[in-house]
Amino acid sequence: MDYSTWSRRVVDLASALTRLADEAEAAGVPAPRASWRANLYQKLVPQASDAPYLIVAVAGGANMGKSTVFNHLVGFPASRVHHNAAETKHPVALLPRGFTDRHDLAAVFPGFALQPWASEDDAVAEGHPDGLVWREDPSGAQPANLVLLDTPDVDAALPNNWKLAESITHAADVVIALLTQQKYNDEKIRRFFRIAAEADKGVLAVVNLIDWPDDRDHCRGWLETFRKGTGADPLHAYAVPRDRAAAREGRLTFHPLTPGSTSPRADLAELHFADIKIRSLRGALRQALDPDEGIPAYLRDLEKLADENRQARAVIHQKVQVRIDLPRPPGHVVAEEIWRWLEPRRTWFDRKIHGAYGALGRAVSRWLPGSVEPAEDEARFLAEEKTQLSRALETIYNDLEAVHRVGAPALRQELQPLIAGDQRRRAFEELQGRLAAAPLATESYRRVIARRLEVFEAQHPRMMRAIEWGLVATAIARPALTIGMFGAADIASGPIFQAGGHAIGQVFFDVAAGSALTAGGEGAFARLGGPARALIGDLFTAFYRERAELLARVVDDCVVGRHLDRIERLAALGESPDFQAAYKLAADLSRELAAIDEEADEGRARAASVSMG
């Protein structure tokens, strides 16, 4: 697998899951606390975000020469050599020059308490039990993509050493296994390297402190025992003679024990970093993608939750809806707003002449059948509107109660707070209060009228004069109103607008042909042409929208908003782009992981066959 493609998929998966978890949490789903999050965000993402570098840990038991080999690899005494067992208490990391400028050490070594190097005694000093001492290579000779670790004894009796050993196993990509004639088959050492092998870490084996060339054949036998006991198949293996002077002077000799091996420094530099990095991170990726406890399980849980809420949304969409026959509007409201817009545009002569016609129109209109005074007309409209909207609110509550009685448990849990008596009473009081406080002509309505008249004037300049001389006496269609939860396009037609901030209480106007009324007003005898007639009808429809939105907002804010908003958010989770992206990326990485596992199994089978032969 190409490293750049693999790393990009890991980072994209983590990004999609972060956004998805935020969406779910906003809908009331707690953030996942599973172990896959630590593997993904603390191990995989930090390392996949950078160019591939290797962390190489020198590991082994007490008095096996770990610090000596470590110092040989780095080229100077970076870690003090001690001849007493279990003296080293903290791992020591030697970093390439400038490494801390390019990488976040806390992400490179999660779980460690990082401590900058002060002296060669730092590794044996008391301090934080999870401490890790780090320093940058002062010589600048260390490769920029190679981090070296000296480690405490893995066979020490100290419990904390085992905890550190496990943390090092997780952090390292390659482990240099120090073996000796006395401890190549020690159970504690085998256990450590077995864990490393199971995590598919690259292993370089060093059989230290031997008599060369007398022990050459013995070394190969010890290595074979090590392979069988740990399952590790070293990339390279070496034998190092016992030579105290060479050890002190940093000139150890590494005799190759496997084909293609030269020396640890040279062979480490020649490793395929990208391939080994993917192998090293495979264990963390496997755990993150575990079908039962990893990312797939999290996505399945979200998908199930989304399905339940989509079903709940469908039930509410089907059952909770109300149709209202709106009362006849007070015609003078629209007329006065048109006059307000026209007034600054008229000349003195227009005002004198038109005022006479206007006075005549008002006088005659009082004698028309059904004509009423403006104040009386307003009172009639407000009383009818209050009755209609209160009935509509009662219908919505009755529908919600019916759904609650037959709904699934998840839906009933969401609806229970909505239909409580106190909640219902507050909703009705809120509706009455908002109706009483809302003017018939709001500032937003005036702006709508001004914009539409300006457009009309630009398109029909001559017709504006006709409107001035014969204002607002025409048949207009009175719309009916349908309010449905989660949209109701299947039960109404006509323009749609969304009320409230939750995208759940949608209002539909169904303009009923033949349900016409006459809006009386100034210039009552005029008969306007088609475009003007359509304009006046449109302005009345805009008035209805204002009043309908008032009810929709009360329904949204006081009745269903917060709870149905949760249903809507949860229902949308399984359809969101982030869910789809996370699902696809997790599936792609799982397939690639299975291919790597299959290849590794075949390699182990071939190695076992060769060994048996």
Tens digit of pLDDT for each residue in 388-446? Answer: 888 888 888 888 888 888 777 767 877 787 777 777 888 888 888 888 888 888 888 88
Using the Cα atoms of residue 456, residue 372, residue 481 and residue 387 in order, give the sign of their dihedral: positive
User: Angle 3-26/561-573 helices, nearest 10 degrees?
Assistant: 160
- List, in sequence order, the alpha helices (H) in 75-113: 99-102, 105-108
- In this prediction, residue 371 carries a pLDDT of 58
Taking residue 324's Cβ as centre, other Cβ atoms within 10 Å add up to: 19
Whether the per-residue pLDDT at 77 is higher than 80: the answer is no
| CA neighbor of 509 nearest in space, from 463, 559, 544 | 544
Q: Give the integer Cα–Cα distance in Å for 146 and 307.
A: 48
- In this prediction, residue 357 carries a pLDDT of 45
- In this prediction, residue 489 carries a pLDDT of 39
| CA neighbor of 312 nearest in space, from 406, 418, 392 | 406
Interval 511-534 mean pLDDT: 46
Q: Give the integer Cα–Cα distance in Å for 332 and 395.
A: 31
**283 in helix, strand or coil?**
helix
- At 162, is the pLDDT very low, low, confident or very high (cuts 50, 70, 90)? low
Using the Cα atoms of residue 342, residue 362, residue 526 and residue 530 in order, give the sign of their dihedral: positive
pTM of the shown model? 0.62
The H-or-E segment that residue 205 falls in is strand 202-210
Q: Distance between alpha carbon 37 and the CA centroid of its chain, in Å?
A: 13
Interval 244-271 mean pLDDT: 89
- The more confidently predicted of residues 395 and 466 is 395
The answer to whether residues 39 and 284 touch, using CB atoms and an 8 Å cutoff, is yes
Residues 560-573 as b/e (b if ≥16 CB within 10 A, e otherwise) read bbebbbbbbbbbbb
Q: Give the integer Cα–Cα distance in Å for 4 and 593.
A: 15
- At 318, is the pLDDT very low, low, confident or very high (cuts 50, 70, 90)? confident
Which residue type occupies 177?
Answer: A
Mean pLDDT check: name the lowest of 492-496, 540-544, 568-572: 492-496
Residue 126, burial from CB neighbour count under 10 angstroms (0-12, 13-18, 19+): exposed
Mean pLDDT check: name the lowest of 210-224, 338-352, 451-465: 338-352
The answer to whether residues 284 and 43 touch, using CB atoms and an 8 Å cutoff, is yes
- In this prediction, residue 600 carries a pLDDT of 65
Q: How many helices (H) and strands (E) does the chain have?
A: 23, 13
- The more confidently predicted of residues 151 and 521 is 151
User: Angle 530-554/443-459 helices, nearest 10 degrees?
Assistant: 160
Mean pLDDT check: name the lowest of 43-57, 80-94, 175-189, 376-390: 80-94
- The more confidently predicted of residues 291 and 248 is 291
Using the Cα atoms of residue 566, residue 571, residue 575 and residue 578 in order, give the sign of their dihedral: positive
How confident is the prediction for the chain on average, in pLDDT? 77
Whether the per-residue pLDDT at 114 is higher than 70: the answer is yes
The H-or-E segment that residue 574 falls in is none
- At 476, is the pLDDT very low, low, confident or very high (cuts 50, 70, 90)? very low
The answer to whether residues 152 and 179 touch, using CB atoms and an 8 Å cutoff, is no
- In this prediction, residue 247 carries a pLDDT of 85
Distance (Å) of CA 600 to CA 201, 236, 339: 12, 17, 84
**For residue 213, cis peptide bond before it (omega within 30 degrees of 0):** yes
